[in-house]
Structure formats: C-alpha cells, structure tokens
Chains A and B, each alone.
Chain A
Amino acid sequence: MRSADAGHFNRSYIIFAVTALSLVLGYTGWMMSITGQAERYLWPSVLFVFLFALICVLWLGVMRRRMANIVDTLDQIVEGAIRGQARVTGYSETNLSSLENKLIRYIDLSFHHERKIEAEKNKIKELISDISHQTKTPLSNIVLYSQLLAEQSGLEGDTQQWVKQIRTQADKLDWLIQSLIKMSRLETGIIAMHPDSTSVIDTITRGISQIYRQAEQKGISITIDCDTAIHAHHDPKWTSEVLFNLLDNAVKYSEPGGRIHISVAAYELFVRIDIADTGIGIEEDELHSVFKRFYRCKRTASFEGVGIGLYLAREILSAQGGYIKAASKPGQGTTFSVFLLADGQAKV
C-alpha cells in the first residue's frame, strides 16, 4: 500500500516541478523578448527561478511531512480503537476526530454483537444441561417400572414381548439423549479437552477394554501393533471414547470370525492410529458422508444405530487438533485412520 502511494506521490512531484519550471522559463523568455535581450533583466530572472523552485521544494516537503503525520495519526487511531484505548484526537472540531468517533462507534457495535452472541451461547448451554438433567429421572423411572413389570409373574407371551420392547426402546432413548447431549456440548465447546502427552497404547487399551467382550462373543479377534514408547498429545478419556466408537462399528459391521487390526505409526507432526476391520465396508461415494451428523449408509439400514458415532469421533478429534479419515473396499473391510498431534506439536 505504502509503496504504491509513494510511487504516485513521486510522479506528482515531477509533473509539478516540470510545470513550474516551464512556466518560469517561458515567463523569463517572454520578458527577455519584450525587453530586447537586455542582460540586466537576466539575473533577476535567474534569481526568481531559483527562489521560486526553493519555495516549491520547501512547500512540498512540508506537505509530505503533513501527509505522513496524518497517516501516522490514522494508524494510531485505528490501533487505539481496536484496543479500546483513549481517543487520540480527543473531541476536537477536526475531520480526523469525527472519523475516529465513527470508527470507535463501529468497533463498539461489533463488540456488542460479539457479547450478544456469547450470551446466547450461554443460554443454549444452560438449556442443554437442563434437558439432560430433567430427562434423566423420568427415563430411569421408565426403565425401572418396565423392569418391575417384567418381573411380574403370570404375564402372557405377547405381553412379555411388549414389556421387553419398552425396555429396549427406553434404553435406546437414554443412549440417544446422552449422545445428543454429548454432541451439543462438543459443538458449543462446553466440554473442555485436556490434551496432554500421554501414552497411545494406554488409550487404545482403554478403548478395547470396553468392547472386548462383545468382540469375543462374536468371535472377532483384535490385534494391536504398537510401539509402547509412542506418546501423543491427546485427551485419553475422550480419545478412548473415539476408539471405542470405531471399534464398536468394526465389531457391529463384521461377520463373526472377522479380524480387527490396530496399528500405530508415528509421523513427524501426527501419530496415526489405523483401525482396520474385515467388515462390510463403505461404498466409495459414501466415504465422505459417514462423518456427517445422522448419516447412515444404505447398506447399514438393517443394523441398529442413529449415525452420530463417527460424527462425534470427528468432533472430539478436531477439538484436540487431530483428524480422522476413512478408506474402504466394499465387501473387504474398512480402515479408519485417527491422527493425533505428535508430542511437541501442542498448539498455542
């Protein structure tokens, strides 16, 4: 910006100087032709030209300094207004002062908007915690009474089935509400991650421990290939939840007797955890969508689920500076790759 302006300034200097010079020379020549080349008129003219040029240069110098001053003041005004400092020009009757006033008003307005948004966000946070709190009791009551109902003797076959249905649906609702709350908390940034340099294998073990029984029941083997020395900058609690979600999917969408392989590799900036299964896989055109909220693949319609596990995984990972991606061959299996920040890459 400044260099372009300076170029413009220099050009106007030259134009100004040339015009002034030609004017003076023309005037002198004219005078000399009128007075008949008299030498005595020459010297005053030369002196006149010199003085005139000197005054011009001085005047331009002054103008330039004033311009620089104005730009400097403007710079100070903008800086001060952004940082909320006292007015540079005070309340004087100048153009600059009224400009500063306008700027401060504008900045105030945007700060005000920001505060308003913050307040609304807080309201949402309260609402969410209210919902989670208020639904807890009735839901656990439904579960409790359906249990009591199931324990009643003398229930007919059909009735027993219905009671069982109430129970499963109530459980599902409970899980759904919990997930939704988790999700909205993550989205509004209520949940604070505490990423720290932690052993990756510990987190993986934590994730596996929650799924191991299910996998065993289905006859699915889980193998890990991980250097125990690898550490990554992550929150073990939430990251193990991500891994659990991924493993849960792997078990759910694999045939009995399938295999799940977890491998860990340390890159320069990230630590990569691959979870490869031998499940039904994801079509290529759906690979993109699986991380969307409530998205469910066409092939999984017959499976239970609501489609927020992977979305949650993605939110949790990006909240701690990580990343997740999927690769798949339909019918052969899927590999999810989780990227955690490597140690020493902690973001400020």
Chain B
Amino acid sequence: MPILQIDHLKKYYGKGNMTVKALDDVSLTVEQGEFVAIVGTSGSGKSTLLHMLGGLDRATEGKVIVDGNDIFAMNDENLTIFRRRSVGFVFQSYNLIPILNVYENMVLPIELDGATADQEYLELLISTLGLKEKVHNLPSNLSGGQQQRVAIARALATKPSIVLADEPTGNLDSKTSQEVLILLKQLSEKFNQTIVMITHNEEIAQTADRIIRIEDGRIVNESEAAGVRGSGVRS
C-alpha cells in the first residue's frame, strides 16, 4: 500500500470569474521509502500542494491519504495530533527554537507527544547528520547548514510516516546545499523514510528518486531517477 495517496486534489481560491486554481486535479502516489522531488516555479502550486499534504490547509475537493488516514476527514484537534506524530516538516528557515539546544530541539516533538525517545535511533541520527559534537550547542552557535541538519534530525526523530521538506536548501550556499541533499537521500535509504521535497531548482531535484514537475496547478510530467526502489536492486 502506498504511504501517500493524493486523489484528484483541487484547491481553488476566490469565486466565479476570479477563481484562482492553485491546484487543479492533482493525483499522485508515493511508496514507502521514496524520495520524491516536486519541482515548479513560484506560483505553480507546489507550496499549496505541500500544505495540503501536511494537513496545514484544507482542499476544495479531493482526498489526501497518508498511511491509510484520510486527513481531511479528521477534525482540527485530531489533525494536529496526526501532524505531530506522522508528519515531519523541514522548512527553508529551519524554525528551530533558539532557547533550546540541539538535542532538546530534536526531542521536542517526541516530548510534546508525551512519549519517550528511542535513544539508539537518535544517536544514529545524530551521527549520520554529523552533529555529534554539537548536541549541546544552541542553534545560534551553528552555521546554516548545521541548523538545517538539526531541523532534519527533528523531523525524523518521531519516525514519521512522511517527511515534507519545503525548499530545504533555500537559505544555504551551493556547497552546503549539496551536503544537506546527500544526507536527505541517505537518510531516506537508510531508514526507509519517505521524503517529499519541493524546490524550484532542477539541479537540487536531481538527488531525488523521482521528480514531479508541476505547472499552473497541474502535474506536467514525472521522471524516474536512478536507483528507484523496486528496480530489482533490493528485491
């Protein structure tokens, strides 16, 4: 069963002649462990799509099913809990809490949920992301790339069904961007973590297993990249 299923998703703003079709009948499925890039220029609807996937906004029509849950069928309270447990977010601007250190930032979503952290997994995550020496630092003492790596660690700490990354390298230089992308790719492989990343940058998108191009609210074409799961490599 696919981990993410989007069924004829539509999002219209305004009415009558003034209707803006931010998303116009988008359908898509993502399998567990895939690293998918959604590429489009600004205004193409890619951010709207991401907001729908994360349950940050509700659609005009259509369904989004994450790990078997129809997210628009949930009420706001359940949707909040669902987001906390099943969706990891990585934003362009990191959104770390400045008064908490790296470790505290990472475990925050777990603690908000009242659960206990899986120490072994966290340590593996920390070492994979090269944050071993920075665990007790405050975000303000870290470089942009390091801060984004903490944000990625935080997004993955709860072992969510899906990680949504919104221009994760938007604020980073090309060197650091490259590193962050490789890490995302490796994490997706290592932990079989599903990642959906949106970007306007074609080169950045190439790290992904699959690229989905979106224009004027519609998917224009899909291309599979090298090493897609199920190409026989791991079967």
Which residue numbers of A lie inside 8 Å of B, CB to CB? 1-4, 187, 265, 267-270, 272, 285, 287-293, 295, 311, 314, 318, 321, 323, 325, 327, 339, 345, 347-348
Contact = CB atoms under 8 A, between A and B. Distances in A.
B190 to A, nearest CB: 9
B114 interface: yes
Given A268-B145, A268-B179, A288 B206 contact: yes
Contacts of A285: 223
Given A3-B113, A293-B231, 8 more contacts: A267-B178, A270-B179, A288-B206, A291-B227, A318-B186, A323-B185, A325-B206, A345-B130
A103 B18 CA distance: 58
29 contacts: A1-B114, A1-B115, A2-B115, A3-B113, A3-B114, A268-B143, A268-B146, A269-B183, A270-B178, A287-B206, A288-B211, A288-B223, A288-B224, A288-B226, A289-B226, A290-B226, A292-B226, A292-B227, A292-B231, A293-B231, A293-B233, A311-B226, A314-B227, A318-B186, A323-B186, A325-B206, A327-B203, A345-B130, A347-B128
Interface in B108-145: 113-115, 123-124, 127-128, 130, 143, 145
Contacts of B175: 265, 267
A267 B114 contact: no
A339 B130 contact: no
Nearest to A311: B226
A1 B211 contact: no
B205 to A, nearest CB: 10
Nearest to A295: B226
B20 interface: no
B226 A270 contact: no
Nearest to A186: B233
Given A187-B233, A323-B182, A327-B203, A269 B115 contact: no
B81 interface: yes
B226 A314 contact: yes
Contacts of A4: 81, 114
A264 B185 CA distance: 22
Interface residues of B, number: 34
Interface in B192-235: 203, 206-207, 211, 223-227, 231-234
A183 to B, nearest CB: 10
A272 B177 CA distance: 13
A288 B182 CA distance: 15
A292 B231 CA distance: 9
Contacts of B128: 347
Contacts of A311: 226
Nearest to A322: B182
A290 B227 CA distance: 10
Nearest to B209: A288
B182 A339 contact: yes
A268 B130 contact: yes
A283 to B, nearest CB: 12
6 pairs of A and B residues whose beta carbons are closest in the complex: A291-B226, A3-B114, A288-B225, A2-B114, A323-B182, A269-B130
Contact of A293 (B127, B178, B232): B232
Contacts of B113: 1, 3
Contacts of A265: 175
Interface in B71-125: 81, 113-115, 123-124
B189 A348 contact: no
